[in-house]
């Protein structure tokens, strides 16, 4: 009797603990969902022709199929159906943001009850397949970017090309593309859609990538198909479906093209020793600005992509280079929800007026342009900078692009080419931008570059703290520090002395204690870590054809650093 009651008590206790645990877990997930700030993806639809507006609708329909395909590749359609049965709205919501049961921004930790670790090969391979079994498999297509592996009834592994595995979904895409091709007014866009349509049927994307490179004039762009290979954590072979529906920002794009033409002149005026600026930078960069109006699949899972550099095919790089697309409204989303609150905490109240999106976006765009400035080959006979600096190269190259990007912005403001921001705006926003980007640490190239710059600026009096501990930027000293830091970075690249570069980065590419304190304060302030998108035809003012309301929260991926 006694024994029994103890057992009953024990069961009751376990049940209570279980209940409390579930409640605590639920609260934790709710908090996590709140870390994603909602943002509506829009653009000026008025500037589009009626045909273009109709095309946008079709592109969104295709993007939704890409989204379904990504779910299938990442998590499996059957598992997705089970997720829909979950009662807890917070868990359900979070699973939508992460396209599955694992937290993409927290080391893939499972958060849906009943799920263990994420299979490294996602749903591209049988989960019970061993590496030895893969190695033994005699099929040259097993490593293709466009095949999945499945265990058949006999227990053997079949290699299935995407166009067969996803035949049904792709047939729907084919129908939609047929309509789109008839509507496309821009010749480049029409040609691309035609060739891409064939590629989806054969899994040979080379020709469509080549044609996409030539698509220079179209106001609409549509990046879609199996593209990046991050989702295949097992071998990195398999590409995941995704889509971006994009509308070009013509003003910004034209300005970037025009200012890129000025690179040789900007190079001549670089604040560094003349012997490091003898190279003449190229002026044929393909860099354009877009608003994204729809994200789907891989690029929408977890952290959001804010810039595109495609295609990935090296054969296309050799023949035509790459196209770089800056996603302006996605950056604005992150600026409003993440950067502004951080600046509000950290920047002197008198200089908050200098925190501007246009300044932020200029710094980001001219960072890209500035990769073309400076020096590519060392002057010390050590070959090119990349070879000479080895694993230190990325940090220094990012440091160069950061500071020379700011130098370009400053020069263009002085030449009255940029008139919507002041130099003070550019400087204050630049420093606030560093506080934003080191939030998640300074371990990879961008983070180390940020810290080297920040510490140099601090040591040269570019900013100090006011009585509340807020940052005050000294415009005059910042200018001198900018010039000094640019000169030092370009010299380090031009000399190509690996040990000098390594020692400097090890000593200065770190978060110092006073900044670490600031980062703690930022952490406590519950500032969002990423965005979820409200997107679709309805928010664009397009007619919905009896489809479900798009309320699925969508979360963005920065290719290298978390925003
Ligand atoms: Zn860069």
Are residue 541 and residue 456 in the same domain, yes or no? no
pLDDT of residue 306 exceeding 90: no
Are residue 316 and residue 417 in the same domain, yes or no? no
Residue written as tokens 């679709």?
536
pLDDT value, residue 95: 95
Are residue 96 and residue 235 in the same domain, yes or no? yes
Give backbone dihedrals phi and psi of 293, rounded to 5 degrees, phi first: -115, -5
Give backbone dihedrals phi and psi of 302, rounded to 5 degrees, phi first: 70, -120
Residue 150 lies in a domain: no
Stated as kind and residue range, the H or E segment containing 46 is: none
Are residue 49 and residue 67 in the same domain, yes or no? yes
What is the whole-number distance in angstroms between the Cα of residue 367 and the centre of ligand 1?
Answer: 6
What is the whole-number distance in angstroms between the Cα of residue 213 and the centre of ligand 1?
Answer: 21
What is the whole-number distance in angstroms between the Cα of residue 445 and the centre of ligand 1?
Answer: 9
Are residue 504 and residue 448 in the same domain, yes or no? yes
pLDDT value, residue 317: 86
What are the tens digits of pLDDT across the range 98-118? 999 999 988 899 999 999 999
Collapsed DSSP state (helix, strand, coil) of residue 159: strand
Question: Of 181, 187, 179, which is closest to residue 218 (Cα–Cα)?
Answer: 187
Q: What is the mean pLDDT of residues 377-392?
A: 93
What is the whole-number distance in angstroms between the Cα of residue 305 and the centre of ligand 1?
Answer: 15
What stretches of 140-216 show up as alpha helix (H) in DSSP?
162-165, 167-183, 187-202, 206-213
Q: What is the mean pLDDT of residues 453-481?
A: 97
pLDDT interval class at 393 (50, 70, 90):
very high
pTM here is 0.86
Residues near 72 by beta carbon (within 8 Å), at least 6 away in sequence: 80, 123, 166
Are residue 295 and residue 392 in the same domain, yes or no? no
The secondary structure of residue 119, as a DSSP letter, is P
pLDDT of residue 147 exceeding 90: yes
pLDDT value, residue 96: 94
Are residue 436 and residue 547 in the same domain, yes or no? no
Domain hosting residue 502, numbered range: 269-281+334-528
Q: What is the mean pLDDT of residues 312-331?
A: 91
pLDDT value, residue 286: 86
pLDDT value, residue 19: 65
Q: Are 246 and 221 in contact (CB under 8 A)?
A: yes
The secondary structure of residue 281, as a DSSP letter, is P
Collapsed DSSP state (helix, strand, coil) of residue 219: coil
What is the whole-number distance in angstroms between the Cα of residue 118 and the centre of ligand 1?
Answer: 31
Give backbone dihedrals phi and psi of 231, rounded to 5 degrees, phi first: -70, -25
Are residue 393 and residue 293 in the same domain, yes or no? no
Residue 144 lies in a domain: no
pLDDT value, residue 545: 64
pLDDT value, residue 4: 42
Residue 72 lies in a domain: yes
pLDDT of residue 44 exceeding 60: yes
What is the whole-number distance in angstroms between the Cα of residue 353 and the centre of ligand 1?
Answer: 27
pLDDT of residue 263 exceeding 50: yes
What is the whole-number distance in angstroms between the Cα of residue 41 and the centre of ligand 1?
Answer: 25
Token reading at 148: 């999945």
pLDDT of residue 188 exceeding 70: yes
What is the whole-number distance in angstroms between the Cα of residue 392 and the centre of ligand 1?
Answer: 14
What is the whole-number distance in angstroms between the Cα of residue 362 and the centre of ligand 1?
Answer: 14
pLDDT value, residue 26: 78
pLDDT value, residue 468: 92
Question: Of 30, 10, 55, 15, which is closest to residue 542 (Cα–Cα)?
Answer: 55
What is the whole-number distance in angstroms between the Cα of residue 214 and the centre of ligand 1?
Answer: 24
What is the whole-number distance in angstroms between the Cα of residue 516 and the centre of ligand 1?
Answer: 24
Residue 264 lies in a domain: no
Stated as kind and residue range, the H or E segment containing 312 is: none
Residue 74 lies in a domain: yes
Are residue 208 and residue 309 in the same domain, yes or no? yes
State the Cα–Cα distance between residues 334 and 329, nearest whole angstrom.
Answer: 9
Q: What is the mean pLDDT of residues 215-233?
A: 95
Give backbone dihedrals phi and psi of 38, rounded to 5 degrees, phi first: -75, 145
What is the whole-number distance in angstroms between the Cα of residue 399 and the centre of ligand 1?
Answer: 8
pLDDT value, residue 498: 97
Are residue 364 and residue 487 in the same domain, yes or no? yes
pLDDT value, residue 106: 84
Residue 5's alpha-carbon distances to 14, 16, 18, 197, 428, in angstroms, are 14, 16, 19, 69, 68
pLDDT value, residue 439: 79
Q: What is the mean pLDDT of residues 378-392?
A: 93
What is the whole-number distance in angstroms between the Cα of residue 365 and the centre of ligand 1?
Answer: 10
Are residue 520 and residue 542 in the same domain, yes or no? no
pLDDT interval class at 18 (50, 70, 90):
low
Q: What is the mean pLDDT of residues 512-522?
A: 92
Q: Are 499 and 409 in contact (CB under 8 A)?
A: no
Token reading at 191: 């040609």
What average pLDDT does the chain have? 91
Residue 339 lies in a domain: yes
Q: Are 402 and 367 in contact (CB under 8 A)?
A: yes
pLDDT value, residue 546: 57
Q: Are 209 and 311 in contact (CB under 8 A)?
A: yes
Are residue 275 and residue 170 in the same domain, yes or no? no
CATH number of 219's domain: 3.30.540.30
Question: What is the domain count for the chain?
Answer: 2
pLDDT interval class at 427 (50, 70, 90):
very high
What are the tens digits of pLDDT across the range 70-90? 999 999 999 999 998 898 999
């Amino acid at each position: 009797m006694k024994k029994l009651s103890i057992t009953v008590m024990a069961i009751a206790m376990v049940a209570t603990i279980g209940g409390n645990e579930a409640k605590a877990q639920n609260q934790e997930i709710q908090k996590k969902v709140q870390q994603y700030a909602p943002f509506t993806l829009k653009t000026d639809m008025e500037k589009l022709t009626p045909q273009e507006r109709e095309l946008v609708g079709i592109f969104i329909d295709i993007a939704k199929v890409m989204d379904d395909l990504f779910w299938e590749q990442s998590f499996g359609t059957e598992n997705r159906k089970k997720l829909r049965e979950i009662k807890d709205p917070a868990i359900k919501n979070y699973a939508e943001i992460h396209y599955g049961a694992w937290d993409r921004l927290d080391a893939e930790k499972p958060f849906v009850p009943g799920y263990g670790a994420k299979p490294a090969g996602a749903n591209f391979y049988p989960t019970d397949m061993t590496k030895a079994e893969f190695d033994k498999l005699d099929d040259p297509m097993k490593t293709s970017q466009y095949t999945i592996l499945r265990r058949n009834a006999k227990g053997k592994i079949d290699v299935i090309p995407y166009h067969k595995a996803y035949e049904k979904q792709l047939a729907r895409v084919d129908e939609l593309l047929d309509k789109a091709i008839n509507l496309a007014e821009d010749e480049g866009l029409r040609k691309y859609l035609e060739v891409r349509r064939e590629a989806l049927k054969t899994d040979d994307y080379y020709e469509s990538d080549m044609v996409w490179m030539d698509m220079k004039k179209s106001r609409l762009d549509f990046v879609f198909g199996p593209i990046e290979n991050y989702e295949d954590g097992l071998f990195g072979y398999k590409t995941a479906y995704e889509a971006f529906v994009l509308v070009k920002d013509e003003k910004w794009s034209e300005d970037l093209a025009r200012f890129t033409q000025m690179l040789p002149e900007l190079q001549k005026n670089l604040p560094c020793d003349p012997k490091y600026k003898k190279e003449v930078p190229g002026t044929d960069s393909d860099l354009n600005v877009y608003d994204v109006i729809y994200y789907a699949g891989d690029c929408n899972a977890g952290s959001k992509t804010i810039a595109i550099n495609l295609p990935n095919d090296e054969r296309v790089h050799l023949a035509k280079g790459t196209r770089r697309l800056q996603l302006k409204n996605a950056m604005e989303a992150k600026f409003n929800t993440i950067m502004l609150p951080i600046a509000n905490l950290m920047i002197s109240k008198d200089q908050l007026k200098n925190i501007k999106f246009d300044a932020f976006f200029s710094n980001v765009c001219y960072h890209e342009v500035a990769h073309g400035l400076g020096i590519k080959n060392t002057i010390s006979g050590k070959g090119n900078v990349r070879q000479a600096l080895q694993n230190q190269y990325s940090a220094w190259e990012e440091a160069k692009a950061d500071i020379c990007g700011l130098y370009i912005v400053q020069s263009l403001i002085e030449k009255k080419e940029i008139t919507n921001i002041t130099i003070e705006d550019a400087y204050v926003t630049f420093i606030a931008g560093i506080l934003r980007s080191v939030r998640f640490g300074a371990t990879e190239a961008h983070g180390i570059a940020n810290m080297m710059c920040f510490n140099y600026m601090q040591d040269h009096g570019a900013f100090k703290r006011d009585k509340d501990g807020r940052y005050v930027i000294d415009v005059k000293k910042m200018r001198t520090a900018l010039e000094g830091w640019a000169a030092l970075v370009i010299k380090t690249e031009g000399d190509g002395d690996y040990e000098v570069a390594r020692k400097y980065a090890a000593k200065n590419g770190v978060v110092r204690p006073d900044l670490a304190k600031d980062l703690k304060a930022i952490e406590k302030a519950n500032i969002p870590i990423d965005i979820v998108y409200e997107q679709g035809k309805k928010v664009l003012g397009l007619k919905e054809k009896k489809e479900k309301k798009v309320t699925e929260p969508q979360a963005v991926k920065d290719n290298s650093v978390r925003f």
